[in-house]
Structures are given as structure tokens and as C-alpha cells.
């Protein structure tokens, strides 16, 4: 039996269930668009009805039903309360270390993620809880700290500037062309010093990132250890950095912070400045604050979500690093966030409904369902 919880600003959604064989057909309408009265679809007063009546041959009247979506819950087995990895990379180099990855290893990471059903999403989408990925896939956020040149390198050729095919941006661009289902998203956590190692091209690079869906985040002006600063110092380190990059490109906004050294102020009075503050009249705010390593995290509407201490998974092949976690997900795939592919719905097995913080959800419905062997 399936149950429906509805939250949100709309007044109602039409839902028609096909009970049996695990299939269902969902008919959703948008009250802002649908002319009244709606005569062809049954208005469901109760969460459960016995017999579905679905008129699916409505192609002549596209305005009558905005979206007709079908999802085989038995087959897809979504769980939008599950774990999400925010992967932490730094440099690409000749050897695999804690803070560097070879080009080949990075490419094989992407391939394995893709093959295992992951799709890259932006930090903004993670913050908003909006995942525009196919049903059955798992979001992953790719992050790169410190603005190494290997993250974004231009080659100067006779024909002009070309993106180095072996830098992170070049590799992600190419991987997306070959595997569009993977998506194209990454966030680079930058310091003001010499981001991406080619000062004369920094504005061009930032514009490219903006134009191609990449993001930048705050990593403090001079990679300061925030545990050693007072309120003024923290605000200078974070606010000065956002101001600096805002002056270079006002469209690229820093809305999240990767803590330098993974260290957050110990003093409770100082911690709020990591989230919000101002420097010389310029206000900054961080919707998420990322730590260093060692485990996957949860969606923003999960009861355990703490925006001041979002965990990341370190790239690499050691214990509790990316390869280790992918091995773990092969053994225990039910741990993962699995998308229902539906924009306005958060699908959660009944067993995991207690993970959902309904107060953190304002514009989506929470859909609870039961499956065997979940």
C-alpha cells in the first residue's frame, strides 16, 4: 500500500495509482497553469483509490495536463533520503597521493562513477535539493580545492588558447560529451593568490566556468587557518576573498565554503562568522561549509544535515576514500541516494521516512511508499 504526504504551496496534485505489479501512473497538474474546472481527471480526496482511471491519449490538448509522469517504483527503487558523496579533489599530478590524483586515475574515477550510476550535480543543486538527473541515478558533487593549475590550464597554441585536455576542466568537458547522462558540474574552491596558476587568464577562466555551468566556492583569501583568527579576522579571510572574486566576475557567486585545512573555529561565538559576515561593507554567506574527508553526506532535508559541517569523501584508493566507498556501495547499494527523476517530488521508502526533516522542505511533496525487501 502506498501513502502520500503532500507539502508545499500548491493546493493539490492529482495522483492516480495503479496498484498491483508495483506499477503506478502519476498524473500531476499545476494549479497555476491548469484552467478550471478539470473535468477529465478524477480528483482524489483520499490518498488511496481502488481503480485508476487514466486518460493518457491527451496529446491533442497539451495544456490540459502539464506533466504525465510514470515511475516504476519496484524497478527504480528510489530513495531520496540516502547518502550523497561530495568528493574532494585537489591537484592532478604524476602520482596518487592524499592530495593529488593522476590523470588516468581521475579519468577512471569518473568512468567508475558513471558506470555505477552516479551523475554529477552542482553544489547549488545540492544546496537546493534539486537534482535534475535520471530516475535511478545517484547525485555526486565534485569539488576541487586550492585552484591548482591542473584544475584549469590553458595551452597557448598557434591557433590561440586551448583548454588543456588533461586538466580537470578539459577532462570533464570531454567526459560529458561522451557521457551526457553524467552531466557536467564541478565546484572549484579558490583562494585569491594565484588561482589556476595563469594570472593573465584568470578572468577568461572564470568567465568560461560561468558559461559552462561550473562553480566557484570560498577557500579563504589566503588559505587562512580559521581556528587562529578572531571575528574580524574570519570575516576578512572570507569576505575579502568573495569581494576579490566578485570584482573579477560578478556573475560567479561564492555561496559555499571549503574550510582551509578542514578546520572550523572552536569558539561557539566565532562559528557563525563562517556562515555569514561582512568585510568592508560587503556581505557574504555560505549555504554549506565543507570539511575534509572521510564519509558521504546526506541531502539538505535530512534530519542529520548540518550546513556547518558537511562531510566530504576524499579522492584516492585508501581506506574511507573514494574507491573504498564505491566498493562499499557495490556491496550495499541501498545506502545510496537514488533519484526518482521527478522534479517536485521527494520519494522515500516508508522505512526511511523518519530521516526527512519536513520543515526543510517548502516546495516539494514528500512521497512515501512501501516496497518488499527494502
- Residue closer to Zn ion (CB basis): 139 or 260: 260
The residue range among 42-50, 119-127, 145-153, 240-248 that interacts with Zn ion, by the rule CB under 5 A, is 145-153
The residue range among 4-12, 143-151, 169-177, 330-338 that interacts with Zn ion, by the rule CB under 5 A, is 143-151
How many Cβ atoms sit within 10 Å of the Cβ of residue 133? 21
Burial of 296 (0-12, 13-18, 19+ CB in 10 A): buried
146 binds Zn ion (CB under 5 A): yes
Q: Give the chain's end-to-end CA distance (angstroms, integer).
A: 14
The residue range among 10-18, 50-58, 101-109, 139-147 that interacts with Zn ion, by the rule CB under 5 A, is 139-147
Rounded to a whole number of angstroms, the minimum distance from the CB of residue 178 to Zn ion is 30
224 binds Zn ion (CB under 5 A): no
- Residue closer to Zn ion (CB basis): 24 or 146: 146
The residue assigned the cell 526533516 is 357
Rounded to a whole number of angstroms, the minimum distance from the CB of residue 258 to Zn ion is 7
The residue assigned the cell 597521493 is 97
E-strand stretches of the chain: 3-5, 25-28, 67-70, 85-89, 91-92, 100-101, 118-120, 138-145, 154-157, 160-163, 187-190, 215-218, 256-258, 276-279, 282-285, 288-294, 310-314, 345-349, 365-369
145 binds Zn ion (CB under 5 A): yes
**How far is the C-alpha of 44 from the C-alpha of 35, rounded, in Å?**
18
- Residue closer to Zn ion (CB basis): 193 or 213: 193
The residue range among 144-152, 233-241, 282-290, 310-318 that interacts with Zn ion, by the rule CB under 5 A, is 144-152
Rounded to a whole number of angstroms, the minimum distance from the CB of residue 262 to Zn ion is 9
- Residue closer to Zn ion (CB basis): 195 or 299: 195
Rounded to a whole number of angstroms, the minimum distance from the CB of residue 146 to Zn ion is 4
Cell numbers linked to 365: 511533496
Helix, strand, or coil here: 285? strand
Rounded to a whole number of angstroms, the minimum distance from the CB of residue 90 to Zn ion is 7
Query: Which residues ranging from 25 to 54 are in contact with Zn ion (CB under 5 A)?
Result: none
Size of the site for Zn ion (CB under 5 A): 2
The residue range among 91-99, 138-146, 312-320, 357-365 that interacts with Zn ion, by the rule CB under 5 A, is 138-146
- Residue closer to Zn ion (CB basis): 144 or 279: 144
**How far is the C-alpha of 131 from the C-alpha of 134, rounded, in Å?**
9
**How far is the C-alpha of 72 from the C-alpha of 23, rounded, in Å?**
5
Cell numbers linked to 162: 586551448
The residue range among 22-30, 140-148, 180-188, 248-256 that interacts with Zn ion, by the rule CB under 5 A, is 140-148
Cell numbers linked to 107: 579519468
**How far is the C-alpha of 126 from the C-alpha of 85, rounded, in Å?**
10
- Residue closer to Zn ion (CB basis): 15 or 192: 192
Rounded to a whole number of angstroms, the minimum distance from the CB of residue 294 to Zn ion is 16
Rounded to a whole number of angstroms, the minimum distance from the CB of residue 148 to Zn ion is 10
E-strand stretches of 49-186: 67-70, 85-89, 91-92, 100-101, 118-120, 138-145, 154-157, 160-163
Binding site for Zn ion (CB under 5 A): 145-146
Amino acid at each position: 500500500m502506498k501513502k502520500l504526504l503532500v507539502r508545499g504551496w500548491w493546493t493539490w496534485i492529482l495522483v492516480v495509482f495503479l496498484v498491483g505489479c508495483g506499477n503506478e501512473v502519476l498524473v500531476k497538474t499545476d494549479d497555476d497553469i491548469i484552467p478550471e474546472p478539470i473535468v477529465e481527471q478524477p480528483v482524489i480526496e483520499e490518498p488511496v483509490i481502488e481503480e485508476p482511471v487514466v486518460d493518457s491519449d491527451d496529446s491533442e490538448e497539451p495544456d490540459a495536463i502539464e506533466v504525465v509522469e510514470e515511475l516504476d517504483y519496484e524497478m527504480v527503487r528510489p530513495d531520496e533520503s540516502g547518502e550523497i558523496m561530495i568528493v574532494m579533489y585537489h591537484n592532478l599530478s604524476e602520482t596518487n597521493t592524499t592530495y593529488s590524483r593522476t590523470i588516468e586515475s581521475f579519468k577512471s574515477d569518473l568512468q567508475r562513477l558513471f558506470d555505477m550510476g552516479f551523475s554529477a550535480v552542482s553544489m547549488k543543486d545540492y544546496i537546493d535539493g534539486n537534482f535534475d538527473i535520471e530516475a535511478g541515478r545517484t547525485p555526486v558533487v565534485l569539488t576541487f580545492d586550492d585552484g591548482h593549475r591542473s584544475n584549469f590550464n590553458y595551452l597557448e597554441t598557434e591557433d590561440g588558447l586551448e583548454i588543456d585536455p588533461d586538466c580537470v576542466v578539459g577532462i570533464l568537458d570531454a567526459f560529458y560529451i561522451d557521457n551526457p547522462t553524467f552531466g557536467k558540474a564541478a565546484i572549484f574552491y579558490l583562494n585569491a593568490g594565484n588561482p589556476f596558476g595563469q594570472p593573465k587568464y584568470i578572468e577568461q577562466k572564470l568567465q568560461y566556468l560561468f558559461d559552462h555551468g561550473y562553480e566557484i566556492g570560498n577557500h579563504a583569501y589566503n588559505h587562512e587557518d580559521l581556528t587562529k583568527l578572531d571575528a574580524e579576522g574570519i570575516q576578512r579571510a572570507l569576505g575579502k576573498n568573495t569581494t576579490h572574486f566578485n570584482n573579477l566576475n560578478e556573475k560567479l557567486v561564492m555561496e559555499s565554503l571549503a574550510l582551509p585545512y578542514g578546520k572550523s573555529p572552536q569558539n561557539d561565538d566565532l562559528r557563525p562568522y563562517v556562515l555569514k559576515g561582512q568585510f568592508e561593507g560587503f556581505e557574504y554567506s555560505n549555504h554549506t561549509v565543507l570539511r575534509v574527508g572521510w564519509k558521504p553526506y546526506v541531502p539538505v532535508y535530512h534530519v542529520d544535515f548540518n550546513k556547518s559541517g558537511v562531510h566530504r569523501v576524499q579522492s584516492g584508493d585508501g581506506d574511507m576514500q573514494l574507491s573504498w566507498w564505491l566498493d562499499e556501495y557495490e556491496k550495499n547499494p541501498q545506502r545510496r541516494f537514488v533519484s526518482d527523476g521527478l522534479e517536485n517530488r521527494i520519494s522515500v521508502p516508508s522505512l526511511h521516512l523518519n530521516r526527512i526533516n519536513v520543515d526543510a522542505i517548502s516546495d516539494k511533496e514528500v512521497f512515501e511508499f512501501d516496497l518488499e525487501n527494502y
